């Protein structure tokens, strides 16, 4: 046995392809090089994790870090700091930020800004718009790009491709799986008066109603079948969509968010007001149960936080002037660990949704599993820890969470990115050293290790 290791994780409950077993994990040069009994091995660092569960590094495949901007807007440093404090080792950022990520230059600029500033590994979506459709097949293969994002309905920002002809063109230009915000823009425009006339956030789910989501997803699936393009439907919220998508698993994968699995209307709007406002909206318990059924039946492939922070000042504006979106990258794992404790899903299914699922859906190279040869991305959690989510713990610049005050069972205690411990017991260690995530469909000679 080679005793030259950088780090050994000793005695933890390792959650891997082989189930859950008490195994040591040996890491060297940023990779996992051994799983088994390494109690007698020598290493530069030795971490006793007995009694804790050792998971593959958590991947949050939908975040919005809104830099550059005002003092209270999120940026790549603060957003990634929140990520690792919450046990997340990799994030995929959406393109509807400032400036929008719709070109090679914008993507390169974002990669440059991320260098030596982001605590976790990262990749960036390129947004489809009517000007860059013919370039999408090139853009999706760019280093550091996790894929193309299509907005069929308007949300935060001005990215939008809403007519069928252009949607077909987007799907024809490229091969990688394309992520889609699926709401019908024509119906949103027709029904906007509902929000304007009431001035009440309870109307948000009436304005952006079930049919707004379902009709858009039907259109998307028709286009996907016609073009043979794989699609990933983000933040699904309705029972009807879940049934549609269950019949299209050859082409379509499914994301749901912890918010939609945890909050339900109308009580969320009663308690939180515009802090509960997001797109697509939080819906009633019948739809929430349909999402959980999709989790249980394996229809849902991925959980994403849809971390989209806005300042408290902006969120306190009168509806519908208040922006949609809420922070979530730091609370993603604690919330879902509470659902594990409550018996809603198993820890193995959680790993499937937050680790192996994103790796499978997006073709991530060397992440998503605890396996020899994979990146040394590890999230260590204490399933017996009972904690309260406090605003003092949050690193996001917005400073609030819809889940402030929630009591959870299960807590991230360490975050390891490519073999480097960057968070332990709630404290950041070292300096930001996140790197771009690599993807199997866009590997180049320079990105092959």
The residues with which 375 forms a beta bridge, in sequence order, are 31
Output phi, psi for 409, to 5 deg.
-115, 115
Question: Could you give the residue ranges of the DSSP H alpha helices within 65-159?
Answer: 76-85, 104-114, 136-139
For 205, the 3-state DSSP assignment is: helix
- Is the peptide bond prior to 208 cis by the omega test (within 30 degrees of 0)? no
The Cα–Cα gap between 171 and 134 comes to 11
Going by C-alpha positions, the residue among 33, 28, 115, 45 that lies closest to residue 424 is 45
Spot the catalytic one: 24, 162, 209, 306.
Answer: 306
- Residue 433 belongs to what H/E stretch? none
Under 8 Å between Cβ of 95 and 147: no
CA distance 331 to 86: 6
Closest CA to 263 of 243, 238, 281, 290: 281
Tokens 């906007």 — which residue?
192
Q: Quote the longest CA-to-CA distance of the chain.
A: 72
CA nearest 119: which of 362, 439, 434?
Answer: 434
Complete DSSP assignment for 146-175: EEEEEESS--SSS----SHHHHHHHHHS--
For residue 342, with 0-12 CB atoms within 10 Å meaning exposed, 13-18 middle and 19 or more buried, which class applies? exposed
Closest CA to 95 of 161, 175, 168, 164: 161
Report angle CA 319, 325, 330 to the nearest 5 degrees.
145
Q: Tell me how far apart the alpha carbons of residues 263 and 316 are, in angstroms, rounded to a whole number.
A: 19
CB 64 within 8 A of CB 96: yes
The span from the CA of 47 to the CA of 89, in Å, is: 18
Residue 339 and residue 261 in contact, taking contact as beta carbons nearer than 8 Å: yes
- Taking CA atoms, 228 is separated from 30, 173, 175, in Å, by 37, 11, 9
> Angle, nearest 10°, between helix axes 239-246 and 285-297?
20
Please indicate whether residue 158 is annotated as part of the active site.
Answer: no
Q: Kindly list the catalytic residues.
A: 306
């Amino acid at each position: 046995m080679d005793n030259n290791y950088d780090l050994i994780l000793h005695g933890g409950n390792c959650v891997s392809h082989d189930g859950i077993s008490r195994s040591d994990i040996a890491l060297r040069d940023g990779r996992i090089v051994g799983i088994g009994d390494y109690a007698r091995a020598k290493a530069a660092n030795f971490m006793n994790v007995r009694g804790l569960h050792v998971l593959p590094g958590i991947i949050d495949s939908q975040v919005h870090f809104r830099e550059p901007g005002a003092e209270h807007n999120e940026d790549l440093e603060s957003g990634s700091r929140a990520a690792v404090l919450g046990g997340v080792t990799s994030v995929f950022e959406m393109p509807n930020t400032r400036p929008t990520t719709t070109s090679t230059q914008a993507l390169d600029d974002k990669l440059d800004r991320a260098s030596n500033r982001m605590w976790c590994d990262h990749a960036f979506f390129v947004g489809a718009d009517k000007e860059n459709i013919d370039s999408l097949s090139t853009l999706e293969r760019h280093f550091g790009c996790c894929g193309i994002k299509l907005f069929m309905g308007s949300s935060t920002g001005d990215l939008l491709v809403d007519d069928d002809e252009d949607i077909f063109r987007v799907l024809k230009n490229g091969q990688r799986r394309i992520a889609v915000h699926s709401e019908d823009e024509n119906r949103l425009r027709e029904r906007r008066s509902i929000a304007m006339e009431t001035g009440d956030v309870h109307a948000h789910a009436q304005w952006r109603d079930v049919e707004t989501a379902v009709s858009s997803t039907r259109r998307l699936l028709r286009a996907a079948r016609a073009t043979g393009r794989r699609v990933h439907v983000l933040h699904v919220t309705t029972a009807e969509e879940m049934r549609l998508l269950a019949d299209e698993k050859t082409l379509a994968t499914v994301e749901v968010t912890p918010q939609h699995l945890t909050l339900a209307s109308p009580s969320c709007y009663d308690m939180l007001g515009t802090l509960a406002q997001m797109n697509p909206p939080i819906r009633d318990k019948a739809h929430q149960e349909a999402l959980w059924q999709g989790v249980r039946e394996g229809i849902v492939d991925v959980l994403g936080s849809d971390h989209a922070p806005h300042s408290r000042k902006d969120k306190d504006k009168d509806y519908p002037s208040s922006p949609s979106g809420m922070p979530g990258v730091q609370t993603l794992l604690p919330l879902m660990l509470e659902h594990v404790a409550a018996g809603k899903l198993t820890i193995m299914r959680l790993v499937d949704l937050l680790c192996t699922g994103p790796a499978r859906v997006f073709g991530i190279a060397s992440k998503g599993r605890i396996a020899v040869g994979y990146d040394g991305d590890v999230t260590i959690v204490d399933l017996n820890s009972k904690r309260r989510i406090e605003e003092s713990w949050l690193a996001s610049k917005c400073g609030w969470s819809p889940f402030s005050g929630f009591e959870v069972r299960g807590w991230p205690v360490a975050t390891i990115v490519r073999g480097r411990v960057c968070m332990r017991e709630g404290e950041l260690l070292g300096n930001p050293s996140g790197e771009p995530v690599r993807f199997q469909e866009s590997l180049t000679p320079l990105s092959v290790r």
